[in-house]
A and B are shown apart, each in its own frame.
Chain A
Amino acid sequence: MDVMLILALALLLAWPLGAYMTGIFSGQKHWSDKVFGPVENGIFKILGVKASEGMNWKSYGIAFLISNLVLGVIAFLLLMFQHLLPMNPDGIGPLSWDLALHTAVSFLTNTNQQHYSGQAQLSYLSQGFVIVTLQFVTPAMGLAVCLAVLRGLMGGRNAKDAAEGEERDLGNYYQDTVRAVLRLMLPLAAVVALLLASQGVPSTYQASPTVPVVEQGQSLTEQKIPLGPVAAMVAIKQLGTNGGGWYGPNSSNPLENPTPVANAIETIALVLIPIAIVFMAGGLLRQRGFARMSLAVMGFLSLFCVGAAIYSEQQPNAAFSGLAEQAGNMEGKEVRFGTDLSALWATLTTQTSNGSVNAMHDSLNPVAGLVTRSGMLINAIWGGIGCGFVNFIVYVWIAVFIAGLMIGRTPEIFGRKLEKTEISWLGVLLVLPSAVILTFTAITVAIPAITGNSNPGLHGIAQVFYEYTSAFANNGSGFEGLGDNTPWWNISCVIVLLLGRYLPLVIPLLIAGLLAKKRQIPVSNGTLPLHNLTFGVTLVTVILILNFLSFLPSMVLGPIGEALELTSIAGDLK
């Protein structure tokens, strides 16, 4: 029941939010100009940019990459030297260079994979200043690229006046990014942070109090309750498809997610903007039918996975067979949430590239383990802010291409033909995930000395596969049992993170830039409609087949093999 209520609320809130986002990014006058206009103009003066000045796909892409590089270097240096900087009341030491690099890149790529342990290894400055900033800016940057791709699909902002083959205006990168932070992320995060504080998420700069425990004479005689500006960070962690929490075990920690109501707020925040982007895309493209189809496809896949994960966790954990009552899998879960809310979160967090957790994914039953990995591999069911919808458009391009071949027509989308160059680039995007994830998994599994996993057998392989999948999908959740703070893990993950973030954003930007320049063919009887059931089913099929082809063997080695293994163990016990 509470699961359905949470999903319904998320959808209900995403709708008006999508309309608001259409308003602020459409380039038309908007009521929010009165509030934010003057501040934005001040910022554009500091940046030295003319917000009205458009960029073609190349300038847009370069601005995106350069601003990332600058931010990354600054973050790396601040993390490296946190012990010399202020706001460190608990006297936390420096990070090793490889850990600092991994942490900087992981947050820069909107992944938030954590090889450090939150409250113990980062100062208030590192968490509250460096990481919170990246958690605001990186989703905004992803959204900016998504906006440029959408504008490209419509021939750019200058579509009416430009001739065929002429460079197209895909918007101003800095204007898009600044607006996304100021008009979208900041106000939402402030509201969510205060709601969370009311539920008991710490919101203070005081040092952590130490309290003697009630029953003395045990191995633990006092507890230090770790505090900090936690609520502010958790809000943007959830809203910005970031996922990097304040505390090690993320939102399973009662200080980070104290009550079921806090959990409902955090779960809604997790999917709110990714769903709103679908509504926004409909508004910006002026293609409501296409947006409805997208919503239906994503909603269908999402709900199917939620159902499977909930069913999975309601089954007993095989290790408890005969040793406890027959009830759901509570290993790694919290009593206040139970199995259903944990399974819901696990599904949504891997679909949206968020990666925060409210239960330990290592201890999930195999079917839920399969669901979480599928969400990350598809990476377009809602998806990360901006990049999720860009990935979805890539699947649409592929589906249009395949459908075009089947009916014997040149594939076209919104009146622009997909031709050889675009298809070649799509090919690169298709091969990329399996090439990167499987190569690194194979190398790491082949050398046991560098693997460092906490589980034997097939689950050991699954842990490694999960880590690289999570890095490539810029998700950030982990099978936390992995001993992953080693130079090998840090550096190999940095490479996977970078490949998984920048190529899947820049290549679609390039394709959109190329498409935009083409002559628009008027709609005719022969046009492939993108808003009906036939295309929706085609798209779902394409998404599933592509991922089966790429990853079925590794799934068999991982969760599927593990499920079979468990069935045989259960058989032995009887």
Chain B
Amino acid sequence: MNTTSISRSGVSRAGSDTALSSHHTIWRPALGLAAVMLVTCGLVYSATVTGLGGMLFPQQATGSLVLVDGKAVGSVLVAQPFSGDIYFHGRPSSVNTDPMSTGGSNLAPSNPALRDRVATESAILTERYQLSATELPVDLLASSGSGVDPHISPEAAALQLKRVAAARSIPADMLSKLVEQQTEAPQWGIFGQPRVNVLLLNLALDQQFPTK
């Protein structure tokens, strides 16, 4: 049964010119497949799913922008640079927190350049917070994979609390409450790490304890 169709495959379409028809049966399906797939996967799938996603989740689908007084001030998902004393700071970024050129340091543990960078940062932080180096949370010294990691660990927030409270002349325990509110637990109680979104925390800070 099937064996006969195998031996005929290639010549079964047009009997007259064998060479031409075998040419046909090799190239036509290949071209057809490429065309059909470009249309179904590249156009129909992409457009349908993208449209549907945008319709069902309009806020998330367009970059999770944060609005203050109706104006976008950033994306929840993208770290912003903060350096002043009145703000909490995020993690070191190898790309100056530019979301158009994201990336990590790509330095191996054995690379002296990594050691040098961490040593410099560590010296600055021990000086600023009057702590021994071995008390510094790792995530404040390690650069993130994306360069725009929007989060820091709760420990990294706790470290900065006194400095921010002093700079804004507010009691540390009031600020501590705010940080606690802004701390996210592992998602659905199990996935991922507890974390603080630096942009959201700083925006809440500006709102509750405005500076002039």
Contacts and interface: CB of A to CB of B under 8 A. Distances in A.
Contact of A167 (B7, B118, B150): B7
A307 interface: no
Given A335-B193, A360-B105, A198 B57 contact: yes
A458 B203 CA distance: 45
A254 B49 contact: no
Contacts of A253: 102, 145-146, 148
Contacts of A238: none
A229 B111 CA distance: 37
A99 interface: no
B63 to A, nearest CB: 5
Contacts of A203: 49-50, 53-54, 57, 60-61
Given A70-B31, A455-B107, A333 B133 contact: no
Interface in A287-344: 316-320, 322-338, 341-342
A442 interface: no
B30 A324 contact: no
Contacts of B38: 74, 129-130, 133
Interface residues of B, number: 115
A223 B61 contact: no
Nearest to A197: B53
B3 A227 contact: no
Nearest to A322: B133
B112 A169 contact: no
By size class, the interface of chain A is 35 or more
B167 interface: no
A360 B97 contact: no
A323 B97 contact: no
Given A130-B42, A193-B49, A198-B56, A227 B63 contact: yes
A6 to B, nearest CB: 8
Nearest to B80: A213
A247 B102 CA distance: 8
A200 B53 CA distance: 10
B138 to A, nearest CB: 5
Closest 4 CB pairs of A and B: A260-B192, A481-B106, A203-B53, A252-B145
22 contacts: A120-B101, A167-B7, A181-B41, A197-B53, A198-B56, A202-B63, A204-B54, A214-B203, A232-B53, A249-B102, A259-B187, A318-B109, A319-B111, A322-B133, A324-B141, A328-B138, A330-B142, A331-B142, A335-B152, A455-B106, A459-B108, A566-B110
Given A322-B133, A357-B145, 18 more contacts: A5-B190, A74-B38, A197-B61, A223-B78, A225-B63, A233-B46, A235-B49, A248-B103, A249-B145, A252-B144, A261-B191, A319-B107, A322-B134, A325-B137, A326-B134, A331-B142, A335-B149, A335-B153
Interface of B: 1-3, 5-7, 9-10, 12-13, 24-38, 40-43, 45-50, 52-54, 56-57, 60-65, 72-78, 80-84, 87, 91, 96-112, 114-115, 118-119, 122, 133-153, 186-188, 190-193, 195, 199, 202-203, 206
